[in-house]
Copies of this chain bind each other. A is one copy, B any other.
């Protein structure tokens, strides 16, 4: 049985959970907060980061969310998520990297620091200038998702792919933190409602962080 080391608001662990759900692979969650990563965990992952997908019986340890997704892609036939021609697959991977790196650095990482880490660990108030900058950049990224969805059926092309799940994973964290603003982004909003309704998304909508409740609309698939 796979054990997925993660914490509820880690967008990369969310992407892996969505891929596991789509591929109908069973797993157990092991919660590990980055500020509690101890020496034993560093033995598992020298980078000291989640997600780590670990099977103690088969002694398989996988880390780095993209390496995990590529492994699942290569070993499980059900529901391919990096699919099509080599060019189409390159487009999926480009967009996964765009959400994992640019979106994360611009928006998810500063919001997690200001609203999760400062509240739960540092006992400080968020810096409103950082929140304002992240919210402004959120609109730029949502503009780009609008453009993609206006020109394609799904984020990376005509088929549902890992790019949709990478994007939805980041957005779900922003939504949990109460910072989602869909004003002027009808296309992105419609696409996200579809993503949120998928059975693979249901576990994410149930997971809560202690001391940091989500807004009521978070788990509402029609919101």
Residue positions of A touching B, CB distance < 8 A: 46-47, 60, 62-64, 66-68, 70-71, 74-75, 86-87, 89-90, 93-94, 97-98, 101-102, 144
* B94 lies within 8 A of A86 (CB): no
Residues on the B chain within 8 Å of A97, using CB: 64, 66-67
Point out the residue from B47, B74, B98, B144 that lies within 8 Å of A86, measured CB to CB.
B74
Residues of B within 8 A of A63 (CB): 94
Listed by A's residue number, 23 A-B pairs whose Cβ atoms lie within 8 Å are: A46-B144, A47-B101, A47-B102, A60-B87, A62-B94, A64-B93, A64-B98, A66-B66, A66-B93, A66-B97, A67-B90, A67-B93, A67-B94, A67-B97, A68-B90, A70-B89, A70-B93, A71-B86, A71-B87, A71-B89, A71-B90, A74-B86, A75-B86
- Find chain B residues with CB under 8 A from A46 CB: 98, 144
Taking CB as reference atom, which chain B residue is nearest A48? Answer: B102
Nearest opposing residue in chain B for A68, CB measure:
B90
Residue of B67, B68, B89, B94 touching A74 (CB-CB under 8 A): B89
Q: Collect the chain B residues with CB atoms within 8 Å of residue A64's CB.
A: 93-94, 97-98
Q: How far is the CB of A67 from chain B (nearest CB, A)?
A: 4
Q: How far is the CA of A71 from the CA of B74 in the complex (A)?
A: 15
Query: How far apart sit A193 and B60, CA to CA, in the bound complex (Å)?
Result: 32
Q: In the assembled complex, which residues on chain B have CB atoms less than 8 Å from the CB atom of A94?
A: 62-64, 67
Residues of B within 8 A of A89 (CB): 70-71, 74
Does the CB pair B90–A70 fall under 8 Å?
yes
Given contacts A66-B66, A70-B90, A71-B87, 9 further A-B contacts (CB under 8 A): A46-B98, A47-B102, A60-B87, A62-B94, A66-B97, A67-B90, A71-B90, A74-B89, A75-B86
